[in-house]
Amino acid sequence: MTRIAPTADVDERARLGADVVIWHLAQVREDAQIGDGSSLGRGAYVGPGVRLGAHCKLQNHALVYEPAVLEDGVFVGPAAVLTNDEFPRAVNPDGSPKSAHDWEPVGVTLREGCAVGARAVCVAPVTVGRWATVAAGSVVTRDVPDFALVAGAPARFLKWVGRAGVPLVADGEGAWRCPRTGETYTESGGVLSRDGEDDAER
C-alpha cells in the first residue's frame, strides 16, 4: 500500500507505483515517475519528469534534479545531489535573469543497484554504472564503471565491489570473488563482469 505523509508535496501529475513510501516534507514534481516499492525520505526532492525504477531508496534531503534517470534498486544517500546544469548562472551575460528557456538541463543516470553515498554530488551529465558505489562526500565528474568503488573530489577508482556492496577479493589472474556471497567476477581490459551474467542483464 502506498503511503504519503500529509506534509509531503506530491504533484497530481506524478505517477506512483505500488507500495511507494513518501515521508515528511518530501516533494515530487509534475510528471515524475516513482517505481514500485520505492521510498523517499524526509525532505527529498524529485524534479519534473525524473524517473525512478522499482525499489529505489532516496534518503533524507536527497536532491534529484531533472532529467535524471534511476534504474531499479538504486540508493541515494542523505543530502546527496544529482545536478542538471553544466554551466550554471543566475543571469545571462546582459544581466537579465535566466529563465527556463536560457539553459538546457542535462541529467545524471544511475544504473541498476548502484549506491551514491551521503553528501556526494554527481555532476551531470554522468552515468554511475550497475552495482557501483560512490563513497560519501565524493564529487563525480566522469562516468563510473559497473561494480566500481570511487571516492574523492573528483572521484577516482579505488577498487571493485560486488552486488552485496562489499569489496571483492582477488582470486587469481583477472578473477575476483565476493567474500559475502561467493559470486565470482572477471576483469578484462578494465571492465568487470559477473560470471554467468548474459548480455541481456547488462
pLDDT value, residue 201: 66
Mean pLDDT for the chain overall: 96
**pLDDT value of residue 102:** 87
How high is the pLDDT of residue 197?
86
How confident is the model over 160-193, as pLDDT tens digits? Answer: 999 999 999 999 899 999 999 999 999 999 999 9
Q: Is the pLDDT of residue 90 over 70?
A: yes
CATH class in words for 1-161: mainly beta
At 199, the pLDDT band (50, 70, 90 cuts) reads low
Where are the domain boundaries for CATH 2.160.10.10 in the chain? 1-161
Asked if residue 132 lies in contact with residue 146, where contact means CB atoms within 8 angstroms, the answer is yes
The per-residue pLDDT for 200 is 62
User: How far is Cα 155 from Cα 77, in angstroms, rounded to an integer?
Assistant: 16
pLDDT (0 to 100) of residue 10: 98
Cell 562489499: give the residue.
166
Residue 5 grid cell: 505523509
Report CA torsion sign: 189, 192, 196, 201. Answer: negative
Tell me the per-residue pLDDT of 17-37, one tens digit each, with 9 for 90 and over. 999 999 999 999 999 999 999
pLDDT at 85 over 90: yes
pLDDT at residue 119, as a whole number: 98
pLDDT recorded at residue 49? 97
Q: Are 14 and 38 in contact (CB under 8 A)?
A: no
30 CB-near residues (< 8 Å, 6+ apart): 11, 13, 14, 48, 49
Distance, CA of 184 to CA of 186 (rounded, Å) = 7
Q: Give the per-residue pLDDT at 202.
A: 65
pLDDT > 70 fraction of the chain, expressed in percent and rounded: 98
The pLDDT tens digits of the residues spanning 99-141 come to 988 889 999 999 999 999 999 999 999 999 999 999 999 999 9
Residue-level pLDDT at 16: 98
